[in-house]
Amino acid sequence: MRRWAPAILAQALGWLLASFILQQLAPAWRGTFPEAAMAGGWAAIFSQRLHEPGWRSPMQFGFSLALWVGLHSIIPGWAWAVAFALSLLMFGGGLTGRRAPLYLTQSRALDALLACVPENLDGNCLDVGAGLGSFQRRLAPLRPRLQFRGIERAPLTCLLGNLRCRLADCGHITMGDLWQADLQRYAVVYAFLSPEAMPALWQKALEEMQPGSLLLVNAFAVPDVTPQQAERYGDGDSDVIYAYRLPGPRGP
């Protein structure tokens, strides 16, 4: 089953069950806000029964309510289309492939990053999936010997991120797919992506990065690979920067 199918199935079943129950017991309530609340409650339960992650249950509930509000609001139809288009341009980078949505490197990760990147390191540094350039903006002023660059797939995010980086004089961000980027010329590659992306990124790093170069990973460790260094920056399980030293490119 496609990964979005259980979410849609839970939502659809929630609405079907709620409208069936109200049709039998209180037809006057059909199409009202309580029907949406009941549909959301059922959708949350179905989501659990379909073994969806726990955080999706409250989302299912909220989605049913939002659907009702959307259908009954005075906001014109085109405004939803514009909002949808803007969301796609901003967050679309995380929709396909190895799901890495937009969330930003926080300032509290800075000390951990600094601990992993030696002060005297020269060369190029690439943020794969650069978002709004938060990594570059935080690290570049404190590691002036590195040349910072980012690559970002979502067009609007890339535009804003590039602007922020250029205004702060901390490199630039170009639009593109990180899986097409050549990592060979980078002394440091930084990735804050998703658990799904890590095995493929590690494979790509092994094939392309130079011996001794550094793969920095925020939050999502490479499975079955021991990092050279792990610096915690918060109490959460994923509040860790992992540093992997590359053993060298693999020949064909």
Ligand X SMILES: C[S@@+](CC[C@H](N)C(=O)[O-])C[C@H]1O[C@@H](n2cnc3c(N)ncnc32)[C@H](O)[C@@H]1O
Residues forming contacts to ligand X in the complex (CB under 6 A) are: 93-94, 97, 100, 102-105, 127, 129-131, 134-135, 151-154, 157, 177-179, 192-193
Query: Cβ 153 to ligand X, closest distance in Å?
Result: 3
Nearby residues of 58 by Cβ (< 8 Å), 6 or more positions away? 44
Can you name the residues that pair with 148 across neighbouring β-strands?
125
Query: Cβ 71 to ligand X, closest distance in Å?
Result: 30
Q: Which is nearer to ligand X, 84 or 103 (CB)?
A: 103
Beta 172-175 vs 146-152: how paired, if at all?
A: parallel
Q: Which is nearer to ligand X, 128 or 209 (CB)?
A: 128
Query: Cβ 41 to ligand X, closest distance in Å?
Result: 32
Query: Cβ 112 to ligand X, closest distance in Å?
Result: 13
Query: Cβ 195 to ligand X, closest distance in Å?
Result: 12
Q: How far is CA 113 from the centre of its chain?
A: 19
**CA-based nearest residue to 173, from 109, 127, 113:** 127
- Element spanning 243, H or E: strand 240-245
Q: Which is nearer to ligand X, 153 or 204 (CB)?
A: 153
Query: Cβ 194 to ligand X, closest distance in Å?
Result: 7
Q: Which is nearer to ligand X, 14 or 129 (CB)?
A: 129
Dihedral angle, C-alpha 176, 168, 121, 231, nearest 10 ° = -80
How many angstroms separate the CA atoms of 180 and 161, rounded? 20
Alpha helices in 26-106, H assignment, sequence order:
33-49, 56-72, 77-91
User: Which of left, alpha, beta for 119 (phi over 0: left; psi -120 to 50: alpha)?
Assistant: alpha
**CA-based nearest residue to 80, from 88, 60, 59:** 88
Residue whose Cβ sits closest to ligand X: 93
